[in-house]
Structure 1
């Protein structure tokens, strides 16, 4: 009859069964919780921002109310930050920027929550595996010291098995923990930057700046078209200015007595 899984692990890992099991459990829970947070922050949940960029060109009270109603049920951080920004729409631009800045600091701490523990687990578990290696070697040498006859493989098996099993278990826990901690950190920083960029554009939009929400989202063709349009407008303005100057000069010449 096969033994329960816990008894099998106890035989293979010895005294380090519970410490390694706790580290593995904490790592799994943190990784699952971070993955769930990533699902809440999927880009498709912020589709309203794409629609707003296509439709709105300047902030009006009606558009503000419509946007508030649209994001009132949103669960993403960007939706909550936009709601906070719109709720303080009557404040000055500098005050809104300060409020959003403080809010972003708090949200970044939430996105990075638990990742330090995951990194610590990734550091501790290889050391626990190394400790198991030392304990396994000590047990092996004790077995050899109690034997008066020749050394047999069975005398080496238990000690070397404990040494190798604990080292392998520590590395199996540490590698995913460290890898996921770094990946989640990169994702959190990137997400915070995207949220800050979007809120800055929305703040300009509230200020009445036309085309604010399209900054950074224009294609190369659109940028070239806008540049050509601006250049043409500049040339026309300069031409008109020259014409006005020439007209004024001619008027002065005509007005002088011969």
Structure 2
């Protein structure tokens, strides 16, 4: 383990100056990947539980099922909590609040992913730049000695120059894999946000429609106004 670490340090030193920013980029990328893994693990939700919570709210008027989910850090639960708090608002206002909250949740899901994209793009470029700089240095020696250079010395210079390209690719490839994984997670959660947001709006709209029709029946009932007048008198 220690020997591997020391050999890695030695290779980084042989690779030249560009190995240091590549190494720094790898540390930043590793920190972002760990943070995103923890975040998505905490954001994991059971769609069946979410669906049941909405049904309990609409059918049984049981708000505890959604209230109890406030302790859950999932984005869908947070969005449903916003919908629950605004269920008595007009339908257009409820949809607007859900849309704003959904955009905020998606933005949170994509946090730091742009940074990973940048690192995955520039790491091979930094490695290539380091290789070019190393090749320029190696062939500059050939020019200084007017071509009278030991081929093994030239090969050693080229070998060291290629280390930066290898390092850049070694960092970029796993980052691209993890980035693709995170993008799929964002896509799946976004679909859940849209699905259950529309489901909640649909059922609350039906509930508001039923309550409105009930009120209209009461007020339009024959003799209702006269009965109220008689009671007042």
Q: Provide TM-score, normalisation by structure 2.
A: 0.77
Which deviates the most, 184-193 or 142-151?
A: 142-151
- Give 1:7 deviation, angstroms: 4.2
Change (3 A) 1:175 1:10: closer
| Pairwise CA distance, 1:110 | 1.1
Aligned to 2:16, the other structure's residue is in SS state helix
Question: Which has more radius of gyration?
Answer: 1
1:177 shift after superposition: 2.1
Q: 1:48: which partner in 2?
A: 49
* 1:213-254 Cα shifts (integer Å, max 9, x gaps): xxxxxxxxxxxxxxxxxxxxxxxxxxxxxxxxxxxxxxxxxx
Q: Distance in 2 between matches of 1:67 and 1:207?
A: 20
CA displacement at 1:187 relative to structure 2: 2.2
Whether the 8 Å contact between 1:9 and 1:17 is mirrored in structure 2 is no
- Which of 159, 162, 178 is the aligned partner of 2:160? 162
User: CA 1:7/1:67 → structure 2, altered by over 3 Å: closer, same or farther?
Assistant: closer
Secondary structure of the 1:113 match is coil
- 2:132 alignment partner in structure 1: 134
* 2:77 paired residue number: 79
Distance 1:147 1:11, change over 3 A: farther
Kindly tell me the number of residue pairs found equivalent between the two proteins. 205
Structure 2, unpaired ranges of 5+: 208-233
The verdict on how the C-alpha distance between 1:149 and 1:177 changes in structure 2, with shifts beyond 3 A counting, is closer
In 1, Cα distance between the equivalents of 2:147 and 2:134? 21
Q: Measured at CA, do residues 199 and 115 of structure 1 come closer, stay the same or move farther in structure 2, by a change above 3 Å?
A: same
For residue 15 of structure 1, give the secondary structure of its aligned residue in structure 2: coil
- Matched with 2:200 is 202
Instruction: Check 1:183–1:104 CA distance in 2 against 1; reply closer, same or farther (3 A cut).
Output: same
* Deviation of 1:60 (Å): 4.5
2:123/2:168 contact within 8 Å kept: yes
Give the secondary-structure state (helix, strand or coil) at the position aligned to 2:18: helix
Residue segments in structure 1 that go unaligned for 5+ positions in a row? 210-258
Q: Name the Cα RMSD after superposition.
A: 2.6
Q: CA deviation at 1:150?
A: 4.7
